[in-house]
Amino acid sequence: MTYRLILQPEGLEPAYRESSAGAARTRATREVRIGSITIGRGHPIAVQSMAATQTADVAATAAQVRLLAEAGAEVVRLAVDTPRDVEALRQIRAETGANLSVDLQENYRLASDVAPWVDKLRYNPGYLSSPRSKRTWQDKVRFLAGVAGEHDCAIRVGVNCGSVDPTKRGDLAPGDNVRPMVESALEHCAELDRLGFTRYCVSLKDSDPAKVVEANRRFAAARPDVPLHLGVTEAGMPPEGILKTRIAFEQLIPHGIGDTIRVSLTVPAEGKADEITAGRAILADIAAGRLLNAEDIATFSRGRLNIIACPSCSRVQNAAFVELAERVREATRWAAEHPITIAVMGCRVNGPGETDVADLGLWCGPTAVNLKRGGEPLGAFSYEEILPRLLEELDAMIR
């Protein structure tokens, strides 16, 4: 698929400016090895993706990993939440030589079980700071660093806007939306350094490209030695999701910020290779100096209906979520010029946070969709009932 032809949403014609900036210029970060590849310190920017199949389904997930690796994914991430997923991961590892990363969200304790079969552990600081836990987040980081060191794994400290460390949310200064994310990342880097574990990278992701740019610029200024994983989370469906990601990458990579990337798209499992195709197309354009005009970026970002949707992954509780996101986009085109944000989220990880801050939020469960307006619950509806109900709320909001 040629993404050059579909990078722009309807009503916004593509326009590029030539620039001498290239994708090869990087900061002098430390090197971090992830299996057979190394990121940082002048190494090529690595492109990665995440499997959208249920990890416990060994055949489907092994096929998904092969699909992504054949498309050029240099790291493939899997989610592991249960002992059943752990056993599946062991079998998947036996079927592929791809560099595997495992996503540890709510169950960091599984790290010791999965580490022998993967090349990188990804944890979210927001899930290590539960006030109900008897262990401090520092104890948990010490455990994760010890496991990673014992099993030759890298670590990604993955900070996400939809699940920010709850102890940092109160630090949100007026007009400063990214401060909690940056402070959380810096705090965890300092702790890993104190433990003597330096084989880590960091990601700071938001569904708003402007916040991604600001957060990564601040972090890079404070810690120029730490490699960065770039991405716009919940970017949504192509082509809009690709354009959102491109807008952020163009303002970071030419300035040496970014050592590995993911284009997070809401697509079915069989279409996940599109994330790799889109990522390589963006990197090629940046390297060649084909950048969007600032005016086009401003036009896209100003006063338009914004649909954010989480990337399809193994934590999606109903595959109908992807189709629903597409139906929402088509049914709301009439409202394109209204500055309203609709969030369509497929799992429990970032669903609650993102639907709380959206004007209208759809948090998709196994059999029903939870509808919110401005964070206030309006009820749960079936996948057949939800679209008319959403359109009623959208119409009322516009009126």
Q: What is the pLDDT of residues 79-106, one digit of tens each?
A: 999 999 999 999 999 999 999 999 987 7
Q: Residue 134 and residue 291: Cα distance in Å, rounded? A: 50
Q: Tell me the mean pLDDT in the region 127-148.
A: 90
CATH code, domain with 64: 3.20.20.20
What pLDDT is stored for residue 396 in this prediction?
95
pLDDT at 174 over 70: no
* Long-range Cβ contact pairs of 221-224 (< 8 A, separation 24 or more): 222/182, 222/186, 223/186, 223/189, 224/27, 224/28, 224/29
The three-class DSSP label of residue 247 is helix
Total domains in the fold of the chain? 2
pLDDT score of 3 more than 90 = no
Amino acid at 109: R
Tell me the average pLDDT across 246-256: 96
224 lies in the same domain as 367: no
Domain boundary among 299, 314, 337: 299
Task: Identify whether residues 150 and 264 lie together within a single domain.
Answer: yes
Higher-confidence residue: 155 or 366?
Answer: 155
What distance in Å separates the CA atoms of residue 58 and residue 259, rounded to the nearest whole number? 30
Q: Do 96 and 59 share a structural domain? A: yes
pLDDT of residue 312: 79
Alpha carbon distances (Å) from 347 to 296, 363, 395, 399: 32, 7, 26, 31
Q: Does residue 383 contact residue 320 with C-beta atoms inside 8 Å? A: yes
Is residue 245 located within the same domain as residue 231? yes
Residue 343 has pLDDT above 70, yes or no: yes
Q: Annotate 69-84 with b (16+ C-beta within 10 A) or e (fewer).
A: bebebbbbbbbbbeee
Contact by Cβ (8 Å): 341, 301: no
- Check residue 140 and give its pLDDT: 96
CATH of the domain at 319: 3.30.413.10
- pLDDT number for residue 172: 55
CB within 8 Å of 68: residues ≥ 6 apart? 49, 51, 76, 98, 272, 273, 276
202-245: pLDDT as tens digits: 999 999 999 999 999 999 999 999 999 999 998 999 999 999 99
pLDDT band at 142 (very low <50, low <70, confident <90, very high): very high
Q: Is the Cβ–Cβ distance between 346 and 110 less than 8 Å?
A: no
Q: Binning pLDDT at 50, 70 and 90, where does residue 183 land?
A: very high
Residue 100's nearest CA partner among 50, 47, 39, 169 is 50
Average pLDDT over residues 160-172: 71
Last residue of a domain, one of 299, 325, 344: 299
- Under DSSP, is residue 184 helix (H, G, I), strand (E, B) or coil? helix
Comparison of pLDDT for 160 and 116, the residue scoring more = 116
Confidence of residue 169 (pLDDT cuts 50, 70, 90): low
Are 367 and 258 found together in one domain? no
Q: What is the pTM of this model?
A: 0.91
Does any domain span residue 280?
yes
Q: What is the pLDDT of residue 365?
A: 87
| Rounded Cα gap, residues 209 and 235, in angstroms | 9
Say how far apart CA 295 and CA 237 lie, in whole Å: 23
205 Cβ contact partners less than 8 Å away, ≥ 6 residues apart: 158, 159, 160, 161, 212, 231, 232, 233
Res. 25: pLDDT tops 80:
no
Span of 17-21, 114-118, 249-253, 350-354 with lowest mean pLDDT: 17-21
Are 158 and 213 contained in the same domain? yes
Count of alpha carbons within 13 angstroms of residue 246, beta-carbon side: 35
Greatest mean pLDDT among 17-26, 65-74, 290-299: 65-74
Domain finish residue from 267, 299, 331: 299
Question: For 280-325, what is each residue's pLDDT tens digit?
Answer: 999 999 999 999 987 777 767 666 899 999 887 878 778 888 999 9
* Mean of pLDDT values over 153-171: 81
User: What residue numbers bound the domain in which 329 lies?
Assistant: 304-398
pLDDT at 92: 98
Peptide bond into 174 cis (omega under 30): no
Q: Cα separations (Å) of 112 from 99, 107, 124, 149, 230?
A: 18, 11, 16, 11, 27
Give the helix ranges, DSSP H, for 251-293: 273-288
Q: Does residue 28 fall inside a structural domain?
A: yes
- Mean pLDDT, the chain, integer: 89
Distance (Å, whole) CA 298 – CA 296:
5
Q: For residue 106, give the 3-state DSSP assignment.
A: coil
Residue 2 lies in a domain: no
Q: Check residue 381 and give its pLDDT.
A: 95
Domain shared by 61 and 48, yes or no? yes
Residues 6+ positions from 383 with CB-CB distance below 8 Å:
318, 320, 324, 364, 367, 368, 369
Give the three-class secondary structure for 19.
coil
